[in-house]
Amino acid sequence: MKSEQLAWLIRRHGIEMTHRSGAGHIGSVLSVADLVAVLYADVLRFRPDDPAWEKRDRFILSKGHAAAAVYAALAECGFFPKAELLSFYSNGSRLLGHVSHEVPGVEFSTGALGYGLSAGAGMALTAMQDGKDFRVFTILGDGECNEGSVWEAAMFAKHFRLSNLTALVDYNHLQSLDTSENTMALEDLGEKWAAFGWNVRRIDGHDHDAIRAALTTPREKADCPLAVIADTVKGKGVSFMENDVLWHYRYPHEGWEYDCAVTELYRSKPEGVEDPYTPDGIADPVLPGPDADLSKRHNLSEGYHPRFPKR
Ligand SMILES: Cc1ncc(C[n+]2csc(CCOP(=O)(O)OP(=O)(O)O)c2C)c(N)n1
Ligand SMILES: [Mg+2]
């Protein structure tokens, strides 16, 4: 499957999974969909029928609250039946709301932010010591980079010359309740990783060619880990969710929120992909009423977000 098709399916599954379960983090799922899609479509080495295959590359979604994106990718790649996705976040399901290693293909449970890179660095060191050639990829949130443990892992990875380790930062400038800049500013994030001795690449995190190139071209410093700072938009792909902190916790509710999200996605569906839930789109979508201006219902109005004038 092409990465663009997989990215679209991750977004569509994500809308359905959060809608049906009433679970949050759809903005985080949409933000990271392209990074996850390129990894699974073009970069990672894996065998769905043998999830524990020794030579597999390891991937850790350190921002584990975007679990739906990884579950959707794994199901689309054949690790478990796609129908199981609809059990997301329900009692008895192994598809926990934060990434769980009970799920075939998941290496490491996450959700408490700040641990994925440390775990990945340990795996990368093991590979080097054992002479194995698998690679380790982690995705972190920008808010997650406020965690001190991230920088301890960064220092560790450089010290042990973990050239088999890559950290991608989903740099969407939003956390759960506010902008990253208002919460604890990262200042120049690329310079920080560079100061820790890493190779650093900065890309558009929704441009698949750029993501592929960043992950596959040889590193400038061959014996150092790689940080890919991916500029992203939280909520990417559903216009009214984009750049809006509301959609960190809110899920697409029955009515215009769900209908408009599905309809917008349907219009951007790539060739060769079937919409698994609404194969013909929604014939008569509920449209937002006069009270539905979400920008008035939360605090990301003018002067609050970095992409708007400063307050
Ligand atoms: C150690 C820890 N502290 C706080 C939280 C609560 N929390 C969940 S998501 C989130 C914001 C994460 O923002 P970011 O890393 O930028 O991810 P995004 O959703 O924007 O991709 C926070 C603070 C957590 N899961 N773990
Ligand atoms: Mg963020």
107 lines ligand 1 (CB under 6 A): no
Looking from the CA of residue 146, the nearest atom of ligand 1 is: 15
Helix (H, G, I), strand (E, B) or coil at 239: helix
112 lines ligand 1 (CB under 6 A): yes
97 lines ligand 1 (CB under 6 A): no
Looking from the CA of residue 114, the nearest atom of ligand 1 is: 1
Looking from the CA of residue 31, the nearest atom of ligand 1 is: 21
Beta strand segments in 41-175, E:
58-61, 136-141, 165-171
Looking from the CA of residue 147, the nearest atom of ligand 1 is: 1
**Which letter, b or e, does each residue of 199-222 get, where b requires 16 or more Cβ atoms within 10 Å of its Cβ?**
bbbbbebbebebbbebbeeeeeee
**Pocket mutation for ligand 1, best pick of 140, 147, 172, 175 (most atoms within 8 Å of C-beta):** 175
Q: Rounded distance, CA 216 to CA 43, Å?
A: 8
pLDDT for the residue 173: 94
144 lines ligand 1 (CB under 6 A): yes
Minimum CA distance residue for ligand 1 atom 22: 176
Minimum CA distance residue for ligand 1 atom 19: 28
Q: What is the DSSP string of 51-75?
A: TT-TTPPEEEESSGGGHHHHHHHHH
142 lines ligand 1 (CB under 6 A): yes
The alpha-carbon radius of gyration of the chain (Å, integer) is 19
Q: Is the Cα dihedral 79, 56, 171, 42 positive or negative?
A: negative
* Phi and psi angles of residue 41, each rounded to the nearest 5 degrees, phi first: -80, -35
With CA atoms as reference, report the closest residue to 158 among 201, 195, 202.
195
Give the fold, CATH level 3, of 3-231: Rossmann fold (3.40.50)
Q: Which ligand is nearest to the CA of 171?
A: 2
pLDDT for the residue 296: 45
Q: How far is the CA of 277 from the centre of ligand 1 (A)?
A: 29
* Phi and psi angles of residue 227, each rounded to the nearest 5 degrees, phi first: -110, 125
pLDDT for the residue 246: 87
pLDDT for the residue 293: 57
**Which letter, b or e, does each residue of 118-155 get, where b requires 16 or more Cβ atoms within 10 Å of its Cβ?**
bbbbbbbbebeeeeeebbbbbbbbbbbbbbeebbebbe
Q: What are residue 204's DSSP bridge partners?
A: 231
Helix (H, G, I), strand (E, B) or coil at 172: coil
Question: Contact at 8 Å (CB) between 110 and 60?
Answer: yes
Q: Which ligand is nearest to the CA of 26?
A: 1
pLDDT tens-place values along the chain, 311 residues long = 999 999 999 999 999 999 999 998 999 999 999 999 999 999 999 999 999 999 999 999 999 999 999 999 999 999 999 999 999 999 999 999 999 999 999 999 999 999 999 999 999 999 999 999 999 999 999 999 999 999 999 999 999 999 999 999 999 999 998 889 989 999 999 999 999 999 999 999 999 999 999 999 999 999 999 999 999 999 999 999 999 888 999 999 999 999 999 999 999 999 999 999 999 999 999 988 776 755 544 444 443 444 443 33
Q: How far is the CA of 180 from the centre of ligand 2 (A)?
A: 7
pLDDT for the residue 12: 98
Q: Which ligand is nearest to the CA of 65?
A: 1
pLDDT for the residue 303: 39
109 lines ligand 1 (CB under 6 A): no
CA distances in angstroms from 271 to 2, 27, 45, 263, 274, listed in the order given: 10, 24, 25, 16, 9
Q: Where are the domains of the chain?
A: 3-231
